Amino acid sequence: MKGHVKALLFAAFLLAGGGCFFLGRSMAQSEYAKERDLNIQINRSELDGLGTIEGPIYVTGHKSPDADTVGCSIGYAALLQKMGYDARPVVLGPVNHETKYILEAAGVDTPELLEDASGCNMILVDHSEYAQSASGLADAHILSIIDHHGDGSVTTGKPLVYDAKPLGSAATIVWIRYRNYGFEPDQKTAMVMMGAILSDTKNLQSDSTTLADREALKALRTIAGVSDTDAFYQEMFRASLSYDGMTDEEIFFNDYKEYEAGGRHYAIGCIEVYDETDAKNMAERMKPIVPASLKTTGMDMAFAQVSVYHDGISVNYIVPSDDTAEEVLETAFGEKAVSDGTSYILKPGVSRRKVLVPAITDVLEAHPKE
């Protein structure tokens, strides 16, 4: 059955009220309270089925920890702590800039690093692949998996709580678990979970966003005391594009690739920034770096591609290494590329892989090295 037909049928069904147990029935207050308490007890009792747990329980997200994976670890460990478990959030490496921003805004410490999961009680959040998880996981006791991806390679000998839902953010699943267990996260935890949802749903704009994600964000921002989540998201996003603590040279080589065409070698370093002001500043910083790079790399020419893709703005500021590189860009893009003395500006911006490299390659192959 197609989704929309199904949705229509379902709506009609709800309106008719037929067969619908809870929504259609009128209940006294005491009945509501009783049923709710029973629901909570039943939902919680799945943890009893895990049996006796000796030692701490480590709650970990995937490698290269991002906002959702860290938000889930902190949020789910806190929920288990409320129920008396010795649960501890951990990470598998340094958190990214966006996550760092969220943790600092919430006043929450970065979770400790887990070096090896061998012999540990583990809960996996936001992943279910061994390759993405802690070393030693095959020798760990996996109690639970909370995820919004497909079912991955991880297998367990013992029964577990596996709660995967195809929602926009795994942190939304953690929030649903709070509700179904009858708890509410504290203010700091709510802010970290809010940041996780904003990040993974791109401020509720991604295709994968569901009603549950929207409701979770609404509830969590209230607890977190954040009135303007749009502004919070923009700051998170700006932080995600931060190159704090990196030299200009490190920034150029951060997402750097080399190519060959018409007997010449060239390279492009990509840098994503928040807005056009940041782009102009970054282009200025790259101006001495790009030509200097040729000496260490042995390339014939190089380009820094400083890009903005944000809020409907799509633009590249392309910094060439020298006159030859300038000529190549002019031949490749003609009037489409406007020079401001430092960069050639392309609006809308182009993909390195799909447009920039093929265009430069075409020019170099049309004018091969003699």
Name which of residues 118 to 157 contact a copy of itself (CB under 8 A). 128, 142, 145, 147-157
Q: Is 22 in the site for a copy of itself (CB under 8 A)?
A: yes
CB of 149 to a copy of itself, least distance (A): 6
CB of 92 to a copy of itself, least distance (A): 20
Residue choice 97, 135, 136, 184 for contact with a copy of itself (CB under 8 A):
184
Q: What 3-state DSSP class applies to 290?
A: helix
For a copy of itself, give the closer residue by CB, 211 or 295.
Answer: 211
Q: Is 222 in the site for a copy of itself (CB under 8 A)?
A: no
Q: Say which residue the tokens 């020798």 belong to.
A: 139
Query: How many Cα atoms are found within 13 Å in the side-chain-facing hemisphere of 291?
Result: 10
Q: Is 15 in the site for a copy of itself (CB under 8 A)?
A: no
Residue 200 and residue 126: Cα distance in Å, rounded? 11
Q: Which residues pair with 317 in a beta bridge?
A: 306, 345
Residue choice 210, 234, 297, 361 for contact with a copy of itself (CB under 8 A):
210
Residue choice 63, 203, 212, 276 for contact with a copy of itself (CB under 8 A):
212
CB of 118 to a copy of itself, least distance (A): 19
Read off the tokens for 4. 């929309």
Burial class (CB in 10 A: 0-12, 13-18, 19+), 37: exposed
CB of 290 to a copy of itself, least distance (A): 40
Site residues (CB under 8 A) for a copy of itself, limited to 80-109: 82-86
For a copy of itself, give the closer residue by CB, 206 or 339.
Answer: 206
The dihedral sign for the CA sequence 183, 186, 187, 192: negative
Amino acid in the structure at residue 87: A
Q: Is 333 in the site for a copy of itself (CB under 8 A)?
A: no
CB of 198 to a copy of itself, least distance (A): 18
Q: Which residues pair with 270 in a beta bridge?
A: 305
Residue choice 46, 284, 327, 362 for contact with a copy of itself (CB under 8 A):
46
CB of 85 to a copy of itself, least distance (A): 6
Q: Which residues pair with 88 in a beta bridge?
A: 58
Read off the tokens for 74. 């902190």
For a copy of itself, give the closer residue by CB, 112 or 186.
Answer: 186
Q: Is 244 in the site for a copy of itself (CB under 8 A)?
A: no
Q: Is 164 in the site for a copy of itself (CB under 8 A)?
A: yes
The dihedral sign for the CA sequence 206, 209, 214, 217: negative
Site residues (CB under 8 A) for a copy of itself, limited to 56-85: 82-85
Residue 306 and residue 279: Cα distance in Å, rounded? 6
For a copy of itself, give the closer residue by CB, 33 or 246.
Answer: 33
CB of 11 to a copy of itself, least distance (A): 9
Read off the tokens for 39. 């629901």
Q: Is 51 in the site for a copy of itself (CB under 8 A)?
A: yes
| Cis-peptide into 65, omega within 30 deg | no
Q: Is 225 in the site for a copy of itself (CB under 8 A)?
A: no
Residue 35 and residue 365: Cα distance in Å, rounded? 74
* Pair 204, 214: CB distance under 8 Å: yes
Q: How many residues bind a copy of itself (CB under 8 A)?
A: 82
Residue 83 and residue 63: Cα distance in Å, rounded? 27
For a copy of itself, give the closer residue by CB, 192 or 332.
Answer: 192
Write phi, then psi, for 285 (nearest 5 degrees). Answer: -65, -30
